[in-house]
Amino acid sequence: MAILTDDPQTELLQAASSGVSWSTLADAWTRAFGYKAYAWEGEPPPGVPISPQAWELASRAVWAYPSPEAPSWVFARWDNKGLALSCSTTTAALAQVLVQLAFQTEQINAVIQEQEEDTTWAKPLSLSQNFLAVLCDTLQTVDQPLMAARGLIEEILTWMQNIFSARDVFVAFEELPEEDGHPPQRTVFALTSHGRTLARYYLQHAPESGQILVETDPLAHEAGGNPATNIVSSLPVSEPLRGVFGMQVAGSHEFSHEAKQRFALLGRQWATFWETLHRYRTQARSQRIEQELRVARQIQDSLLPRRLPQGPDFEVAAFLDPASIIGGDFYDVQQVGSRLFMMLGDVAGKGVPAAMLIAMFLVAFRSAVHRADDALSVMHQVHQQVAHELDRLDTFVTLAILVINLERRTFTYVNAGHTESYWLRWQGRRVKSLPATGLPLGSLPLEDYEQLSGNLRPGDIIWLYSDGVTEVTNREGYLLGRSGLLDILLATQPAHLDQQIDAIRRAVALHRDGLPREDDMALLAFRIPAPQMPQLSWTFVGGSSPLDVSALTQQLARHARSWSHTFAASASSEERDMFLFAWELAVAELLTNIARHAYRAYPGRIQGSMLAYPDRLVLEVWDYGEAFDTDVLYTLPSQPDPENIDGLAAEGYGLTIIRQAVDRWAHNRRYRRNWWRLEKFWPRGRL
């Protein structure tokens, strides 16, 4: 039985394959696409572009005109009957399939009429095999193959029952689960309830792959005791699929070797049909899951803060980059009066469940901030609202909460199993770790958590981040690590927070070296502005190879030239050119010396920031290479060789040039890193 559907293409396929008249099919084609279609008996009617000679030559045939690749017409003739469908390039494939199906239906009807009791199965099997191949091709011509397939399978079984005078025809498939403990997904098609019982039985008692089983019905007692013979083929499908195809005929029946071979060929065609359908089902499932993930991502994005609180006495910045459509990292920032509430967390897991759990955390957090004064009370209230869901999902969440009193410049901090945070002190450029103060939520009562607190000074920054930042690996398998993150934070500390985040992102990309990320990346930062903040800043992270150093030098030069038009606007062009020449020379010498002396030609990372103040231009650079002995490097050689230009930097002239090209310079060894600072006052800079 064909199924009813609103899809014109599916309706056409079922009409062509269900034995309806050719005139009904022609009318359906015209209704669906608006193209001309004809069905007739006798001579072709006017309007059909076919010559009498062609009509006489094709007594039983299907052909296209003018070419098989993109025909304008597709024709079929069966004895005195004719069918013609006009089509465009986009509908040509569907038109050919429909005409072929209609033609095959006429073949089936002819076989049924000619079949006698002693007729062998050879011709019906060959015909069924060709017919099933055509139906398999139809799945590639329709927009909704899954809807069409069920109706087509039911039609196929009915045709086979008629062709072979079978009591029942059945086909069944199982898709094995990906995880143990889950039942297989089973699909059974048959014409009777007993046929469905047989299909399930032979799924469990199938012959070896490629073998044909012929036996008396083992379940005849369930069908009233009527004797019957079953012929069953185990379908050669690839994992995770397995399937069987079989028929039942009344009484005792013998099958020739040729009939068994053709039956096996028909089974292979069923296997191709089902694997094609399975591929479409998998694609549809993936598309449905992807759509669900996109919807969940939209919900998740809509709950994240669109605009972060900002004020003249504080700065906030955030960044979130999921590794997949839906990640497990999340953050939120809410200001209530003089208090700023910040949260960053990581849900164990990904996908829709993680997105829904994140939504619950965000809602709970925004409710708690109106009833809490410190981080511990916020954590307590959030935990109360989500504890039941954590138990139900049997999962956990790491969470860091920071509450800042903007008036008093104090903070409280609680960390439930999350990565440690960093408190960068402006005075002395010191770093203080804010470690986890308890286990993740869902694994420990909240009463056991400890709350940290502190007093903030101008220029101080607190960084919260997820493990996707520090646990990114390079091609050798080494982590960027906390030391790598601290390098970036210290090197770019004077820059604006959004510029620091850009530097972290570049450092992560440089470390990955093209490898895909496996985890989400989230960053959240708060700062009380320093006494004097740069008006413009640009952060950088690069390698130490000659090409990397050259590219970085050029980028720094471009920014310096651009900024000079603002900060040295009152200077003459000659003064600006002299300033930029000296600055670019100092920068090039510094970066070259770092590559040559600190890293000694080994791969390394150069990071820092260039800062524009009203009165001066500043460059800060950090590297983790070998220590510099500036006393030696700044001592001029007693007999310099002016011909050895490349050796000047190695002998000390490079750093001497730096000292002469800038107004102030400094070098220090901090945290086993080299720290450099160059300063040069703008020519006639505005104060």
Identify which has the larger pLDDT, 186 or 137: 186
Judge contact between 341 and 373, C-beta under 8 A: no
In 3D space, the residue among 26, 143, 145 whose CA is nearest the CA of residue 15 turns out to be: 26
Burial class, 255, CB count within 10 angstroms (exposed 0-12 / middle 13-18 / buried 19+): middle
CA distances from 25 to 32, 87, 427 (A): 10, 14, 85
In 3D space, the residue among 236, 244, 252, 262 whose CA is nearest the CA of residue 170 turns out to be: 244
Cite the beta strand spans of 251-355 per DSSP E: 315-321, 329-336, 339-347
Same fold, 1-114 and 128-303: yes
Question: Given pLDDT bands bounded at 50, 70 and 90, which one contains residue 246?
Answer: very high
> Can you give the pLDDT at residue 13?
64
Peptide bond into 240 cis (omega under 30): yes
Judge contact between 235 and 242, C-beta under 8 A: yes
pLDDT digits (tens, 9 = 90+) for 305-336: 888 999 989 999 999 988 776 678 999 999 99
> Can you give the pLDDT at residue 11?
65
Q: Above pLDDT 70, what percent of the chain?
A: 82
Residue 68 and residue 659: Cα distance in Å, rounded?
80
Q: What ranges do the domains of the chain cover?
A: 1-114, 128-303, 307-532, 534-687
Residue 362 and residue 18: Cα distance in Å, rounded?
56
Question: Cα 498–500–410 angle (5° rounding)?
Answer: 80
Half-sphere exposure of 133 (CA within 13 A, CB side): 9
pLDDT digits (tens, 9 = 90+) for 332-381: 999 999 999 999 999 987 767 777 888 889 999 999 999 999 999 999 99
Q: Thinking of the domain 128-303, which architecture would CATH place it in? A: 2-Layer Sandwich (3.30)
Cβ neighbours around 684 below 10 Å, total: 15
Token pair in block for residue 251: 């009484």
1-114: CATH class: alpha beta
In 3D space, the residue among 521, 468, 533, 469 whose CA is nearest the CA of residue 497 turns out to be: 533
Residue 357 three-state SS: helix
> Can you give the pLDDT at residue 135?
56
Fold designation for 307-532: Phosphatase 2c; domain 1 (3.60.40)
Q: Above pLDDT 90, what percent of the chain?
A: 40
Please give the torsion angle defined by the CA atoms of residues 102, 107, 113 and 119, in that order, rounded to the nearest 10 degrees: -150
Residue 514 and residue 510: Cα distance in Å, rounded?
8
Judge contact between 427 and 459, C-beta under 8 A: yes
What is the rounded average pLDDT of the residues 508-533? 90
Task: Answer whether residue 209 shows pLDDT above 50.
Answer: yes
What is the rounded average pLDDT of the residues 628-644? 43
Residue 460 and residue 545: Cα distance in Å, rounded?
34
> Can you give the pLDDT at residue 558?
96
Token pair in block for residue 629: 């002995």
Task: Answer whether residue 186 shows pLDDT above 60.
Answer: yes
Token pair in block for residue 583: 């600055």
Peptide bond into 435 cis (omega under 30): no
CA distances from 150 to 2, 157, 232 (A): 9, 11, 21
Label residues 225-244 b or e (16+ Cβ within 10 Å = b). Answer: eeebbbbbbbbbbeeebbbb
Q: Thinking of the domain 534-687, which architecture would CATH place it in? A: 2-Layer Sandwich (3.30)
Task: Answer whether residue 634 shows pLDDT above 50.
Answer: no
Please state whether beta strands 616-623 and 605-612 pair in parallel, antiparallel, or not at all (unpaired).
Answer: antiparallel
Residue 590 and residue 27: Cα distance in Å, rounded?
82
Orientation of helix 145-164 relative to helix 122-138, angle to 10°: 170
